[in-house]
Structure 1
Amino acid sequence: MISRAHSRARRFAALGAIAATAALVLSGCSGGLAGDGGGASSDGPIKLGMLAPFSGSEAAFGDYMKYGAQLAIDEINADGGVDGRDLELVTEDDGCDATAAVAAANKLVSAGVHGSVGGYCSGATLPTLPVFKEAGISMVIPAANSTALVGQGAFLINGTGIQQGAAAVAYAEKLGAQTVVLIDDNTDYSVDLANSFEEQAGELNLAKRESVNPDEKDFAANINSVLSANPDFIYWTGYYQAGGLLIDQLRAAGYDGVVLVGDGSVDAQLAAIAGPAIDNVFGTFTRTPDMLEGGDAWVAAYKELAGADPGPYSMQTYEAVKAIAAAIDDADSTDAEKVDAALLGLKAFPLLSGDLTFAKDGSREGGGFVIVSPTGDNGAFILSDDLA
């Protein structure tokens, strides 16, 4: 008889089911999972809700995340589901807006989801925490990583802002930066990341902090303020739409130093917006499939499903599904209390990005941030420095 631990590792390992994706098992067998919370049914499919931006300036990430989650679901269903029950993805658009996110979260609760595997913008994710908690729904967040999310009962696949800030500081130190300027876009995520960098800056000469309005197109006043500090290293912690314009305008104003961007700007669209100004730009990000052993097979499976290349957070959302499915299987229940306990019990759980263990506060141990650069095809970010 195969042990549950062995079965779990076989069933949910990141690459174990890729070959089976083309032969999906879509039968809707009722299963034996007990203790469903939130009024959700204890038979039929296990519904996983996903909030992501499908509209607004960050809309590209919605499809990246959706197809990443669906690939994991297809693999798990092809391998028999969870205790004989298929997984089903239910998506809602949060537009990276706090008010819209709360309304969308309530829609997912009404739809009877058993778990949540969404969350891109931290500012939109934060207000949904009490909605899901009150409904008895476990949350595994693939992208949003504000430190404000830590210790709130959710589990983070992405490294935290503190871990990302530490990687940015390490890179500035490694380059021997003499004068550093921080620029945020006034969003929760961006300010949190800038704060994390500042708190860990140590001996670095942090000469100035600047905040921009991301809805503006002309950052001349901000740029004049920034350049008055004569920096050789700028860390932009906002999103790519404003980031691309800001970088272009910084270069036009004569700045030729390093620009490091946070993970909210790590997207090929940054290069599309910035144009030739993208030279000497780098980013803090967790590893992407092209950087990993076995990543090519995963990318091929994703492209077959989505008809396009994966983007930032495709893999993290895939892994969020793998983690919560394993926890539901281990708990033999979709009850949030039992699933959360099982998530904490995942020790060195095998994923494409590396073994996963959650700390008691729900953060991912290690973080895994590296330095990437937009030097791949069409401005895609690829590994530049592993900070080893």
Structure 2
Amino acid sequence: MGESRLATIWSLAAAVTILTAGCGQGLLGGGQEGGDQGPIALGMLVPQSGSEAAVGPYMRNAAQFAVDEINGKGGVLGRKLELKVADDACDAQTAVAGAGKLVTEGVVVSVGGYCSGATLPTLPVFGKAGIPMIIPAANSQELVDQHLGHVFLINGTGTQQAAAAMAWITKQGATKVALMHDNTSYSKDIAVRTKKLLDEPGGPETAILEAVTPKESDYSANITNVLGAKPDFVYWTGYFQEGGLITRQLRQAGYKDAIMVGDGSVSGKLAEIAGPEAAEGVYATMTQTPETLQGAGNWIEAYTKKFGSPPGPYSNQSYDAVRLAAEALKNAGSTDGTKVIAALEAINGFPMFSGPLKFTADHTLSAGGFQILVIRSGRFVLQDALK
């Protein structure tokens, strides 16, 4: 994202903050304090439109699943939880508008965030309103590098994903690696961090760092550039729409070596777009999904029964984001943002799908939990589980 565009978006975020500051919360209000005994509102920004809209229902449904479970046990602080969802379309300006809407609706904790480029400009909107953010999916290191006290990530970071990618690339015996990204915060961050690891002596090297324009239909020029560098491993770090096209077009151009994608491409849609033959054997760096979680069978069954379809990527993280928000509210004994942030920082051993939680000083997971998946018969499965 160019500096002028980023400045425009952050200016818009500041304007939204000013407009919403007086709408029931104030700059440090942190939500529904005082005599209000109605529902406690949690806010969730997810893509409900645009190229990444397929992920939105997985996250929204899982969050609602957790809300319903908590409410069935009496709620939090003697009050029911309510989930308020807004569309971010994986677009910065849409996300800022959605964040402002959630602030005016009185949410006390944000439990959303999928695309990092859309999540980044919402940080000041929620921050100025005193609203803690538990981010279930977005994981660009830029989110961490803001050093904002109200921001907590429960997905592995870009640094951790790059390290997992490097380990697998090395294990596969690759010598020249093509890195492809879409210039968004999330995608470029992983590619650049992986390149730094590749540039260290003694291992595989970077063949090319290639940026593509998202939402195109023809990447032949990029494919030509990549194949001209003669890589034996291609790592795409963007989202599934482009990832599927790039995978198909790489194979059509005669590339026969390994392809790997980042966690933003882990969707059955990638295999549909690429086609079954091209997608077969594509690797992915990914944190836990419902299908790769040991002992998650009953949860998957209950989710499927409730929503009529199985959970997908970031369902478990979204479910845990709500549970963590409820735990912090309970421990804080209040909906005040400052108290909830302190409660989140004090979490030690809270059980989540990713394991017992304790945040680092940077409000990230102490371990990224990335694993390697591979496409078999159109589905991403755990590579380590293959015989």
Identify the TM-score tier after normalising by the shorter chain: 0.7 to 0.9
Q: Which residue in 1 is equivalent to 2:215?
A: 215
Q: Which residue in 2 is equivalent to 1:380?
A: 379
Paired residue for 1:177, among 174, 195, 199?
A: 174
Deviation at 1:40, TM superposition (A): 5.8
Matched, 1:127 2:127: no
Distance in 1, matches of 2:227 and 2:29, equals 57
8 Å contact from structure 1 (residues 36, 333) kept in 2: no
8 Å contact from structure 2 (residues 30, 338) kept in 1: no
Map 1:39-78 to 2 at 5 A: 42-78=36-72
8 Å contact from structure 1 (residues 46, 87) kept in 2: yes
Deviation at 1:36, TM superposition (A): 6.2
TM-score if structure 1 supplies the norm length?
A: 0.88
Q: Which residue in 1 is equivalent to 2:18?
A: none
Q: 1:40 to 1:253 in 2, by over 3 A?
A: farther
Matched, 1:238 2:238: yes
TM-score if structure 2 supplies the norm length?
A: 0.88
Q: Which residue in 1 is equivalent to 2:248?
A: 248
Q: Which residue in 2 is equivalent to 1:17?
A: none
* RMSD across aligned positions (CA): 1.4
Q: Which residue in 2 is equivalent to 1:352?
A: 353
8 Å contact from structure 2 (residues 317, 353) kept in 1: no
- In structure 1, the gaps of 5 or more residues are 1-34
SS in 2 for 1:95: coil
8 Å contact from structure 1 (residues 67, 305) kept in 2: no
8 Å contact from structure 1 (residues 55, 95) kept in 2: yes
SS in 2 for 1:385: helix
8 Å contact from structure 2 (residues 42, 81) kept in 1: yes
Distance in 2, matches of 1:57 and 1:50, equals 18
One-letter identity of the residue aligned with 1:215: K
Q: Which residue in 2 is equivalent to 1:261?
A: 261
Matched, 1:159 2:159: no
Q: Which residue in 1 is equivalent to 2:30?
A: 37
One-letter identity of the residue aligned with 2:303: Y
One-letter identity of the residue aligned with 2:380: F
Distance in 2, matches of 1:131 and 1:306, equals 32
8 Å contact from structure 1 (residues 373, 382) kept in 2: yes
Q: Which residue in 1 is equivalent to 2:224?
A: 224
Q: Which residue in 1 is equivalent to 2:6?
A: none
Distance in 1, matches of 2:90 and 2:43, equals 16
SS in 2 for 1:294: coil
Q: Spell out, residue by residue over 1:136-159, the C-alpha distance to the aligned partner (whole angstroms, 9 max, x if none).
A: 111000000010111323101110
SS in 1 for 2:221: helix
Q: Which residue in 2 is equivalent to 1:83?
A: 77
Q: Spell out, residue by residue over 1:7-65, the C-alpha distance to the aligned partner (whole angstroms, 9 max, x if none).
A: xxxxxxxxxxxxxxxxxxxxxxxxxxxx9624666421110000000000000111110
Distance in 1, matches of 2:288 and 2:204, equals 26
Paired residue for 2:141, among 147, 158, 161?
A: 147
Q: Spell out, residue by residue over 1:156-193, the C-alpha distance to the aligned partner (whole angstroms, 9 max, x if none).
A: 11100000010000000111111101000121111011
Q: Spell out, residue by residue over 1:297-354, the C-alpha distance to the aligned partner (whole angstroms, 9 max, x if none).
A: 1111111221111111111100111111101100101111111111111112111231
8 Å contact from structure 1 (residues 40, 114) kept in 2: no
8 Å contact from structure 2 (residues 181, 191) kept in 1: yes
One-letter identity of the residue aligned with 2:88: D
Deviation at 1:215, TM superposition (A): 2.0
Q: Which residue in 2 is equivalent to 1:113?
A: 107
* 349-358 or 87-96: bigger deviation: 349-358
Map 1:287-298 to 2 at 5 A: 287-298=288-299
8 Å contact from structure 2 (residues 164, 371) kept in 1: yes
8 Å contact from structure 2 (residues 33, 336) kept in 1: no
Q: Which residue in 1 is equivalent to 2:9?
A: none
SS in 2 for 1:140: strand
One-letter identity of the residue aligned with 1:267: S
One-letter identity of the residue aligned with 2:266: V
One-letter identity of the residue aligned with 1:140: I
